[in-house]
Chain A
Amino acid sequence: MTFEAGERVRVLPSGKPGHVRTPAYLKGKVGWVESLIGAFPNPEELAYGHSGLPERPLYKVGFRQIDLWDSYTGPPKTTSTPTSTNTGWSLKGELRERPSLA
């Protein structure tokens, strides 16, 4: 599954144990795809000495501060202040769901 720049996506919560490359603060959050960075072997598998193949796309995803932190009290420009983050491996394609914007 691939994503286009500008698509809204949700980072699914992952209950996986072990080495996970998606920061906890992003789980369940909605952001947008900024760009495709490239394809890489899955670091969560490389971490245990496996090949990590096939390579998977790594996306740069943007998030607004107000969507990430409950008590965000930053400047008014907060609504257009994204935290751009690479979510690892899209959690093997779990980075999905394109809610249509209301």
Chain B
Amino acid sequence: MSDHHSHEETGGTTSPYAARIRAIEALLLEKGVLTEPEVQDSISYMEARSPANGAKLVARAWVDPDFKKVLLSHGKAAASQLGMDPEHPAEFIVVENTPELHNLIVCTLCSCYPRAILGRPPDWYKSFAYRSRAVREPRSVMREFGFAPPEDVEVVVHDSTADVRYMVLPMRPPGTEDLSEEELATLVTRDSLVGAGVPRSSVRVG
């Protein structure tokens, strides 16, 4: 049948919903509701997206003040400039961390996330625990991630409850003046783009 399924589930611990979605796919294809290329394109679309895109946006903003301005005021335009294709009609808003302010992103109602740029959200972002606690006790949540902004830093939680997708522009780590843009991008972790942490401070060796 479809050749984009590289291996079959072998039962056991697999969810019963695995067979259901395959059944749905098969039926939709048979009835012509969807075509094979459409499904394949959709798979490829998501596979092409990852936090590396976010890291590129951040690294460019760190080295180019004009780009940073665009990123913070017209997120979608900035993404397009770097060849990325943000989703529409949702807005893509990038919020900046500063020495005085730290941002944390959550979607309490579902799991809104800038998928078109960053790909799938981490499992924890979709969890009930994160979604319920992030708005109420952001500092406690961040401590679980091993991150604790000083008490005099303001913490702002952005709840993406509607047609907006958020990403954090973390602060550039100190002592990175000599790094290239590509090296800077390697410091940017997925968690730092959500505000659950901060970028690495040095490039990993090996």
Contact = CB atoms under 8 A, between A and B. Distances in A.
A–B contact via C-beta, under 8 angstroms: yes
B159 A86 contact: yes
Interface stretch (A1-9, A21-29, A92-100): A21-29
Contact of A86 (B153, B157, B160): B160
Interface in B72-94: 89, 91, 93
Chain A residues touching B, range:
20 to 34
Interface in B151-176: 151-164
Residue from B93, B157, B163 with most neighbouring chain A CB atoms (10 Å): B163
A37 B91 contact: yes
Given A21-B109, A37-B91, A40-B89, A83 B161 contact: no
Contacts of B141: none
Given A23-B108, A37-B91, A84-B157, A77 B152 contact: yes
B162 A21 contact: yes
Interface string A53-86: 0000010100001001100101111001111111
A43 B156 contact: no
Chain A facing B: main interface SS = mixed
A23 B162 contact: no
Contact of B151 (A22, A68, A77, A80): A77
B135 A25 contact: yes
Interface of B: 89, 91, 93, 108-109, 135-137, 139, 151-164
A21 B164 CA distance: 13
B161 A81 contact: no
Nearest to A74: B139
Interface in A33-60: 37-38, 40, 43, 58, 60
B70 to A, nearest CB: 17
B159 A81 contact: no
Given A38-B91, A83-B135, A77 B163 contact: no
